Amino acid sequence: MARGGTNYIPRPDGDFSAWANHYYEAVYAYYDRHHLDPELLAALRKALDTWNGQYPAHVAAQAAAESARRAKDTARAELEAEIRPVTNFVQSYPSTTDADRAEIGITVRETSRTPSPKPTTRPLVSVDVSARLTHELRLVDSGDGASTRGRRGRGGKPEGVAGAEVWVKLVEPGTGHQALGTGEGNGSVISSGRVPSAQSQVPGFSFLTMTTRPTLRTDFPTSAGGKTAVYMLRWVNTRGEKGPWSEVTTATVAA
């Protein structure tokens, strides 16, 4: 439909492109019917040719830019997904200082709040050994005076605690607590008073992880099948202060 006034040229680029090409053909035919010199349309033809080269290039560039934007957004989401758990670990790791946080560029925690008390309770640990070469650890808080043998305790970690250090040692089956250097004990736990330090009193323990969750999965290599995993844990507050060691917990690694 013909447009009137000064608004006969369509505004959207796609509509304009179709209209401009039709316009040139119609005007060229008009000049021909009226025996006018078509060279008078040379400048119009040149401008149309330029448009017909630039407009598709612009459309293609827009499509490429949109594709690049989507790829960029996907890459950012994947990168953020990798950043967050690393940040959570660094934030909760006992040795992390505010200077470390500032250097890395992560949140420096407020210091105006009441400081978290040093943990006085111990993690209680139960181990699910049903899966091959895998242990599922479940942590609860012992509470004052709770016994690991009864597995009493509060769910989750105490107030002000960032998480629990988890230490582990693999020993040959049948060696029991003789491999721990305690000389005593039968069963899966012994008194924490006899094992005050996983590093100095029980040689061979290795730091496994700092967990902020009440459950933890530990995967072992095939060579560990049939061996006994010995665990010791302790709570660590948000200031990096450590609580007393848990009682020793042992579990067989299913081959």
Q: What angle do CA 107, 113, 117 make, to 5 degrees?
A: 105
pLDDT at res. 165 = 93
Rounded to an integer, the average pLDDT of 118-135 is 95
Tokens of 40: 């008078």
Pick the closest to residue 251 from 176, 185, 183 (CA basis).
Answer: 176
Residue with tokens 């890459």: 75
Q: How is residue 41 written in tokens?
A: 């349309």
Chain-centroid distance, C-alpha 53: 46
Give pLDDT, residue 173: 85
Summarize pLDDT for 183-237 with one digit per residue, the tens: 333 333 333 334 444 444 456 789 998 898 899 999 999 999 999 999 999 999 8
Regarding predicted confidence, which is higher, 102 or 113? 102
Q: What's the mean pLDDT in 87-93? A: 89
The whole-number average pLDDT for the span 88-115 is 81
Q: Which residue has the higher pLDDT, 8 or 113?
A: 8
Mean pLDDT (the chain) is 83
- Direct distance between the N- and C-terminal alpha carbons of the chain, in angstroms, rounded to an integer: 81
Rounded Cα–Cα distance for residues 212 and 157 (Å)? 9
Burial class (CB in 10 A: 0-12, 13-18, 19+), 123: buried
Say what the pLDDT of residue 215 is: 93
* Alpha-carbon dihedral sign for residues 127, 132, 230, 228: positive
- Determine the average pLDDT of the residues in 124-139: 95
Kindly report, residue by residue over 11-53, the tens digit of the pLDDT: 999 999 999 999 999 999 999 999 999 999 999 999 999 999 9
Could you tell me the pTM of the whole model? 0.49
**Nearest-CA neighbor of 195 among 184, 187, 186, 206?**
184
In this predicted structure, what is the pLDDT of residue 79?
94
Q: How far apart are CA 164 and CA 63, in angstroms?
A: 50
DSSP symbols for the chain: ----TT--S-SSHHHHHHHHHHHHHHHHHHHHHTT--GGGGHHHHHHHHHHHHHHHHHHHHHHHHHHHHHHHHHHHHHHHHHHHHHHHHHHHSTT--HHHHHHHT-PPPPSSSPPPPPP-S-EEEEEE--STTEEEEEEEE--TT--TTTT--EESPPTTEEEEEEEEEEE-TT-GGGGGT-----SS---GGG---TTTTSTT-EEEEEE-SSEEEEE--GGGTT-EEEEEEEEEETTS-B-PPPPPEEEE---
